[in-house]
Chains A and B, each alone.
Chain A
Amino acid sequence: MNVPENLRYATSHEWILVEGDTGTVGITDHAQAELTDIVFAEPPAIGKTVKAGDIAAVVESVKAASDIYSPVSGEVVERNDAIEADPSLLNTDPFGTGWIFKIRLTNPADLDSLKDATAYRAQIGG
């Protein structure tokens, strides 16, 4: 299972890539494999403010709907329209073109409670 070293991870299987005061958020390779064929994705609206742990997006597989939580507090500044048009990007490229939203962090200290790749790899047992 792919767990890139340069990302931070939430226990609920989201990743965040932080550049300056902005983070890009998506779901992990492990999460997409567990969810199976993703057929619907709804990224958050630009301007939405969320606290760390709030529901920020929804993805649905053939069998089930899953909430996607924001790993950090902040304001959504970009959403990935491409995954609305082609939700399978979440399966095929979860760390790349399958990103979900970008968020301007209001509390960078949130990052301290996220896992690094090693800790997340241990969580998913691999």
Chain B
Amino acid sequence: MRTPLHDQHLAAGGRIVEFAGWEMPVQYTGILQEHKAVRESCGVFDISHMGEFFVEGPGATAWLDSLLTNNLASVPVGQAQYTLLLNERAGVIDDLLAYRLAEEKYLLIVNAAKIDEDAAWLRKHAVPGVVFTDRSPEFAALAIQGPKAAAVFEKLFQKPMPTERNRVLEIQPGSFIATTGYTGESGFEWVIPATEAVSAWQAALAAGATPCGLGARDTLRLEMCYPLNGSDLSPDRTPLEAGLGFFCDLKKPAFLGRDALLAQKQHSVLPHKLCALRVTDKSPPIRSHYRVFVNGEPVTETTSGALSPSLGYGIALAYLPPAYCDLGQEVQIEVRDRRFRAEVVKKPFLKKP
């Protein structure tokens, strides 16, 4: 599948790769340069592959609160909340953003690879009065991120960007912005009708944003330890194991996966936790599925890895047994039959002032 911006990507020199069934740009001029543009100035990403679901009708809040881990009843209208959809075993189906557009109206932004599965799961749990619609094909979306994103926002909309994180505005009829992102920088995500995607993209470039691909999106998010579903999150790992307990409101009377999550919490010791690993030896870039050793024994494998463009050393995430999760724990990561020392460090890798 192609997003409405496919021709724009080619025109900007985008190198196209397959991602979750979509033809997406992995880079334009270079991942390192695009990474730097977001950390120091402003970048724009096509995130039109992501899904857009609308949920509305009396009881929408209660229904979503019975399906998602976080607490939407506590979110004011005009705010977005990061939340998770779990299976009965409390494994992660998807992580998503819920925009509260009105008292009983939501826009959910879900991962591209999970659109069909999420939609099927939500439909399976449908209740009378709450209307769920998957409108993904009707929408495109841009992520505009970086210290200069506010200046880009002002040029686009002739008003200041909300300073508060997670603010949601219907900026034009049928188009939404949220001050959210996946890079650790300030900025916003802009959900627009697919027919307006090209003009929005061109306006963002004209306002000074640098086109950025999935390659930089991955290194940026990994420096912040933001998990990638399908790599760091999976149906076999719970949010507690992934370090996302903050986004699970166990005080809610019920939600999918709550019982399993509560049981795990009361069990006190998790089977493994997603840890941040900093490579202390000079090493090749760490990638996912590299074996991790402790005292010569293989204990797990990395779920994500990179040579951090901002920090200049190797970084990775891996689920480690609790005995090896303490800060400073030494591990070794295997790259082509050689092992390189790494240590468990505090998240995120990149500390923002």
Contact = CB atoms under 8 A, between A and B. Distances in A.
Contacts of A37: 30-33
B336 A58 contact: yes
Nearest to B15: A36
A51 B84 CA distance: 54
A14 interface: no
Contacts of A60: 284-285
Interface string A88-122: 00000000000000000000000000000000000
B112 to A, nearest CB: 19
B215 interface: yes
A36 B33 CA distance: 11
A65 B284 contact: yes
B215 A62 contact: yes
B240 interface: no
A29 interface: no
B306 interface: yes
Contact of B30 (A36, A40, A42, A65): A36
A39 interface: yes
B336 A62 contact: no
B27 interface: yes
Contact of B307 (A36, A42, A58, A62): A62
Chain B, interface SS category: mixed
Nearest to A65: B284
Nearest to A42: B284
Contact of B27 (A36, A42, A58): A36
B219 interface: yes
Interface size class of B (residues with CB under 8 A): 10 to 19
A39 B32 CA distance: 9
A63 B25 CA distance: 13
Contacts of A39: 32, 285, 307
B68 to A, nearest CB: 33
A40 B31 contact: no
A36 B219 CA distance: 15
A62 B284 contact: no
Interface residues of A, number: 11
B181 interface: no
A40 B27 contact: no
Contacts of A65: 284-285, 287, 336
B242 interface: no
Interface in A54-90: 58, 60-63, 65
Contacts of A36: 15, 27, 30-31
A63 B31 CA distance: 9
A9 to B, nearest CB: 23
B284 A40 contact: yes
B26 interface: yes
B309 interface: yes
A38 B28 CA distance: 15
Interface in A6-50: 36-37, 39-40, 42
A39 B313 CA distance: 11
A24 to B, nearest CB: 24
A65 B309 CA distance: 17
B229 to A, nearest CB: 19
B184 to A, nearest CB: 18
Given A37-B32, A58-B336, A63 B284 contact: no
Contacts of B27: 36
14 contacts: A36-B27, A37-B30, A37-B31, A39-B285, A39-B307, A40-B283, A42-B284, A58-B284, A58-B336, A60-B284, A62-B309, A63-B31, A65-B287, A65-B336
Which 8 residue pairs across A and B have the least CB separation, nearest first? A62-B31, A40-B284, A37-B32, A37-B30, A39-B307, A60-B284, A60-B285, A63-B215
Interface of B: 15, 26-27, 30-33, 215, 219, 283-285, 287, 306-307, 309, 336
Given A37-B33, A65-B284, 16 more contacts: A36-B15, A36-B30, A37-B30, A40-B283, A40-B285, A42-B284, A58-B284, A60-B284, A61-B31, A62-B32, A62-B215, A62-B219, A62-B285, A62-B307, A63-B31, A65-B285
